[in-house]
Amino acid sequence: MSFFNSLSELLPPWLHNPNDEKHIIICSRIRLARNLAKEPFPGWATRQQRVEILNRMVSAVSELPGFKQGHYSELSRLSQLDKQLLVESHLMSRDLAARSEGCGIYINKALNMSILFNEEDHMRFQMFQAGLSLKQMWNSLSKLDSKLEDKLPYAYSSRFGYLTACPSNLGTGMRASIMMHLPGLMLSEQMQQVSQAAFQLNIAVRGLYGEGTDATGNLFQISNQSTLGDSEVDIIGRVTRFANDLAVQEWNARLLSLKNNPRLLKDKVCRAYGILMHAQLISTQEALALLSILRLGESLQIFKHQSLQNITKTILNIQPAHIRSISPQLEENSEDRDEVRASLLRALFINS
């Protein structure tokens, strides 16, 4: 079985449901941007320079613990379907997926860390873990970062910190983010106030796949807005406090919706279940929105179904590339995918 066939069947460990019956905080991610000293950044490098730098980086990473038995791919050898599978699994950025020669990705054996080569920066390595766990991840990631810096001297300034292609990443080069499920705040139309409060704290509220994407299925990424002037510990503390406060607001919003109009909320949940049980065609966006309502209903004890115990795997499996991976005979046709997706969802609720 190829790596990508197994990827479509496995749920990365960081997406397993954490010990949170409310399912508000899904997972945490830390991303570090690093560049090599005395080498042109990818956007200014020639193809030959990118290839040479890539080979140097891959050689160093292959010796790190956890990566020796990992999976490495050059972008030029990946199909569009393979790239999209990695994007949907959050292991690859959309920006890297759009690139080819002189670029690559290394994924560790545990599927909770990936290193992107020659995207905007020479390296962007990211680590994931279920639940709210930024502090624990940073303890592990900082050790790996130091080991890599011993092999590959980084571009660093005593004034600006780690040097990056985009000024917003100067300093620590860190993005600490939390994926959160916020249907209560969406239903009560409070997300605009949340975004405004986040901006005041130098925190960004983005969609499911980060900057420039929609909050499909009421899933949001909460992350620090800039990296210059704060230490890694400061950034992690600020994002963690905001996420914890936001989780309390979300739960209160859910309880208030149930208290103010229980019949309307129960009707939304029952309608969502009915559509998922009987739809013949369903898009990714509609399916995620309906699954979000069911997860909301479960948290408020309005609805209970065994299929929701592993809902994150369902969320992955109904994405376009995962659908095509499960059904390779499909043509590149959205209506065909919508039919297969509807069939998968009906089977999920009937057989669970």
Question: Bigger pLDDT: 116 or 101?
Answer: 116
Portion of the chain with pLDDT greater than 90, in percent: 67
Length of the chain: 352
- Classify residue 158 as exposed, middle or buried by CB count within 10 Å of its CB (0-12, 13-18, 19+): exposed
Distance CA 276, CA 286 (A): 10
**CB–CB of 213/207 below 8 Å?**
yes
Distance CA 84, CA 76 (A): 14
- Classify residue 192 as exposed, middle or buried by CB count within 10 Å of its CB (0-12, 13-18, 19+): exposed
| Amino acid occupying residue 256 | L
104 φ, ψ to 5°? -165, 175
Task: Output the pLDDT for position 332.
Answer: 64
State how far the alpha carbon of 269 is from the alpha carbons of 266, 310, 311, 338, 343, in Å.
Answer: 5, 18, 15, 22, 20
pTM more than 0.85:
yes
Task: Output the pLDDT for position 180.
Answer: 93
The chain-wide mean pLDDT, for the chain, equals 89
Consecutive H or E run containing 138: helix 134-151
Long-range contacts of 10-13 (CB under 8 A, 24+ apart): 10/111, 11/310, 11/312, 11/313, 11/316, 12/89, 12/90, 12/91, 12/111, 12/112, 12/128, 13/110, 13/111, 13/112, 13/130
Q: Is the dihedral of CA 280, 286, 290, 295 positive or negative?
A: positive
Residues 123-167 pLDDT 10s: 999 999 988 989 999 999 999 999 999 999 999 999 999 999 999
- The token duo for 40 is 């042109």
Task: Output the pLDDT for position 14.
Answer: 64
Nearest CA to 349 out of 292, 267, 294, 281 is that of: 294
27 φ, ψ to 5°? -160, 170
pLDDT band at 350 (very low <50, low <70, confident <90, very high): confident
